[in-house]
């Protein structure tokens, strides 16, 4: 596995986050470190397919402390599937959220690169991107693996699951929308992010 092909996706997902702009600030994990991270992310060995769901609904007290926060609630579904040809585990993401002062459901999705470490070794993250320069997100785990730490600068989103140019918008990080801590929960909580019936059935049985 070579790091160079992964850098554009990693950097696109981490733009605007501290220490993310410079290639020297990330390093590729060893195979053992990557497998450990996957086990942490999916709360067990992923196997052929695995899911991890994280959710946060911000209460009135939190929003009062962060008056510039635009997001009222957020869901993140991280998925892994073993490719039969290259025998590698491929990750992807689906993100859903509601704005604080706007109606409607918004969503985004894309693929994720292999996990990378910050150079100081403090944090390991997935860099996930949306096609056609749609920005992306970085996904790390809390020390106890009970929460996902989502970082973003800009990510393309669609309203009410409508993938067309008219509905296309972007969630842009502001003073209080650059980092989100989402709590791990039952995978069924993320069912609203999945449209395919077979995948939905698999999600509900994981």
Domain definitions of the chain by residue range: 4-204
Does residue 47 or residue 93 have the better pLDDT?
Answer: 93
Tell me the pLDDT tens digit for each residue of 101-120.
889 899 999 999 878 887 66
Rounded Cα gap, residues 146 and 56, in angstroms: 12
Distances in Å between the Cα of 7 and the Cα atoms of 57, 126, 140, 164 are: 32, 12, 17, 28
Q: Determine contact, residues 75/184, Cβ cutoff 8 Å.
A: no
Tell me the pLDDT tens digit for each residue of 86-98.
888 899 999 999 9
pTM over cut 0.85: no
Rounded Cα gap, residues 22 and 4, in angstroms: 13
Q: How many residues does the chain have?
A: 206
């Amino acid at each position: 596995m070579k790091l160079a092909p992964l850098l554009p996706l990693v950097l696109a997902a981490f733009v605007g986050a501290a220490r993310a702009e410079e290639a020297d600030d990330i390093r590729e994990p060893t195979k053992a470190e990557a497998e450990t991270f996957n086990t942490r992310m999916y709360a067990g060995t992923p196997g052929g397919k695995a899911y991890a769901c994280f959710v946060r609904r911000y209460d009135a007290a939190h929003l009062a402390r962060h008056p510039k926060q635009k997001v009222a609630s957020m869901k993140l579904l991280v998925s892994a599937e073993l490719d039969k040809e290259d025998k590698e585990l491929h990750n992807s993401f689906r993100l859903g959220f509601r704005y604080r002062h706007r109606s409607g459901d918004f969503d985004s999705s894309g693929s994720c690169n292999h996990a990378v470490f910050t150079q100081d070794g403090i944090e390991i993250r997935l860099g996930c991107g949306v096609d056609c320069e749609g920005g992306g997100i970085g996904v790390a785990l809390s020390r106890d693996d009970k929460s996902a730490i989502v970082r973003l600068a800009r990510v393309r989103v669609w309203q009410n699951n409508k993938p067309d140019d008219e509905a296309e918008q972007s969630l842009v990080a502001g003073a209080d929308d650059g980092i989100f801590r989402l709590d791990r929960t039952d995978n069924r909580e993320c069912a609203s992010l999945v449209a395919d019936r077979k995948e939905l059935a698999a999600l509900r049985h994981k």
